[in-house]
Amino acid sequence: MSRWQEWVSARTLSLYTFREHLGPFVFGLVIFTFIMLMNQVARQFQSLAGKGLGAKVIIEIFLLSIPLTIAVTIPMAVLVATMAAFGRLAGDNEIAAMRANGVGFHQILVPTIIGALLLSVATVWFNDTVLPESNHRLSQLMQDIQRTKPTVVLEEKRFNDPTGLGDYRIEPDRLNRETNMMYGLRIFDMSDMSVQRTILADSGRLDYTTNQEDAVLTLWDGQIHHRDITQPGEYEVLDFKRQQLVMRGVSSRLDRAREDSRLRSDREMDLGTLLENVRVEQAKIDTAREELRTVVTSHVATLVRDTFAVLANDTIGRSAVRRQAPVDQERFQANTVERLSQAIDYASRQRSKYLVEYHKKFAIPFACLIFILVGAPIGVRAKRGGYGFAMGLSTLVFVFYYMALTGGEDLADRRFLPPWLAMWLANIVFLLLGIWLFNRASRDSPTRKLKLPKWWPRRRFVA
């Protein structure tokens, strides 16, 4: 057989193998998407029940949830298709027949890998364009549905401005959107610039008043730190068991905020917006660090100057009274250092969050390529496993993959790992597993040896 005939034969058989993937891929994509979609809608059922929603709104929620589900189920469907296709071909001895005709295992995989690569690129485009918009519209719709719960628009560990006027800045450590409760609250009262007022509370609840325009923030077990800048020598700390704050015009402001497309979470941003936010947060970190360096240097210089002043007073026999800066100045410097440190920490967390989402938009789609290397050898060994075996085993594999992905995301949020490594670590692990399985499948295949140069060790290459 000539080389041209061998090439045509290999191409025909490889394309035949690729076509075997289409049916299982569509089947797996539909089944997994339906299951995950039902699970997601079921989790939101409690918040949707009793709202008097029409069929149009329910259908809209259902449709807007599809892109988020598809972005995850595409790699799962690729794994199912690969296992099912190679399992059937191996069970019917077609893989052995192809190898007997000189088509190596790697040649059989070439069209499948090319198809997975194209699918990965298309999924990256999907994650960059369709997914952020659908997530944003779904978030807006859910906020509109739950407008009777003002806590729904607040975000954890982030400064929130419910009134939109800058009167109050609320930073909750944890939110329970079902009960409308907030925990670990810090509230900065900016309504009067001549007064520095900070409220710390163990828990709180934000509710609308009867007119549905204003909101009442009820706080439990906390302290109020009060300082009037016109009286620098006074600083008050008041403990309370229960405290209430009335916020005017919250409802109308929240409605406008929901319509503002600029107010987006990291999962509602495209790649360009994520990178822009990374640059903004990095600029904030650099500015805060420079300011912190200046404050610390100034404070150290003051301490050194006062120390030498004390030594000079002792030398000339005067009273050793240390010239201290006013108490308010020292307190101001300490508060400035704390504020800048918190600003750096917050900006660093935000920057890490944006980078995690940026790398996630690439890591999950390119898992399609990696699952080809994992699924094909397993399918060949399993042989007549069928769709049921392929779906069951692929679900188990993807559960481990998703656990590694979410674990990496958590480590990145805690800044234990760089965001890129946290998102690609699961891919790296499964890539190594896929290479090992592929080598095992190629080494165990009973086919003829390739024609190699005399100077090359033949025992290394067995098709």
DSSP per residue, 122-180: HHHHHHHHHHHHHHHHHHHHHHHHTTT-GGGG--TTS-B-SSSSSSEEEEEEEEETTTT
Q: Which domain holds residue 279?
A: 268-357
Residue 453 lies in a domain: yes
Q: Are 113 and 435 in contact (CB under 8 A)?
A: no
**Residue 185 three-state SS:** strand
Residues 35 and 134 in one domain: yes
Residues 238 and 272 in one domain: no
Number of domains in the chain: 3
Q: What is the pLDDT of residue 459?
A: 44
Residues 234 and 293 in one domain: no
Long-range contacts formed by 216-220: CB under 8 A, 24+ apart: 216/244, 216/245, 216/246, 216/247, 217/168, 217/170, 217/187, 217/244, 217/245, 217/246, 217/247, 218/242, 218/243, 218/244, 219/185, 219/187, 219/243, 219/244, 219/245
Residue 376 lies in a domain: yes
Residue 151 lies in a domain: no
Residues 289 and 301 in one domain: yes
Does 137 score more than 70 pLDDT?
yes
% of the chain beyond a pLDDT of 90: 10
Tens digit of each residue's pLDDT (9 = 90 or more) over 374-425: 888 888 877 666 667 777 887 888 888 888 888 888 888 788 888 999 899 9
Residues 53 and 117 in one domain: yes
Residue 337 lies in a domain: yes
Q: How many CB atoms lie within 10 A of CB 399?
A: 11
Indicate the helix (H) or strand (E) that contains 119.
helix 105-145
Q: Is 93 left (phi over 0), alpha (psi -120 to 50) or beta?
A: left
The per-residue pLDDT of the chain, averaged, comes to 76
Q: What does pTM read for this prediction?
A: 0.65
Residues 31 and 98 in one domain: yes
**The domain boundary residue, chosen from 315, 338, 357:** 357
Residues 58 and 13 in one domain: yes
Strongest mean pLDDT among 25-39, 40-54, 387-401 = 25-39
**Residue 461 three-state SS:** coil
Closest C-alpha among 75, 64, 77 to residue 31: 77
Residues 320 and 443 in one domain: no
- φ and ψ at residue 161, rounded to 5 degrees: -120, 85
Distance between CA 3 and CA 86 in Å, rounded?
A: 26
**Residue 110 three-state SS:** helix
Residue 10 lies in a domain: yes
User: Hey, CA dihedral for 423, 425, 428, 429, is it positive or negative?
Assistant: negative
Q: Quick one: the chain helix, strand, coil %, rounded to 5?
A: 65, 15, 20
Residue 251 lies in a domain: yes
Does 53 score more than 70 pLDDT?
no
**The domain boundary residue, chosen from 212, 235, 264:** 264
Residues 353 and 367 in one domain: no
pLDDT band per the 50, 70, 90 thresholds, residue 260: very low
Instruction: Give ∠ CA 137-141-143 in degrees, rounded to 5.
Output: 120
Tens digit of each residue's pLDDT (9 = 90 or more) over 78-95: 988 888 888 877 777 766
Residue 128: C-alpha distances to residues 4, 71, 269, 272, 335 (Å) = 42, 11, 8, 9, 41
Strand partners, 207: 216
Residues 25 and 135 in one domain: yes
Closest C-alpha among 441, 397, 377, 433 to residue 82: 377
Residues 117 and 193 in one domain: no
**The domain boundary residue, chosen from 335, 357, 379:** 357
Distance between CA 434 and CA 138 in Å, rounded?
A: 37
Residues 385 and 420 in one domain: yes
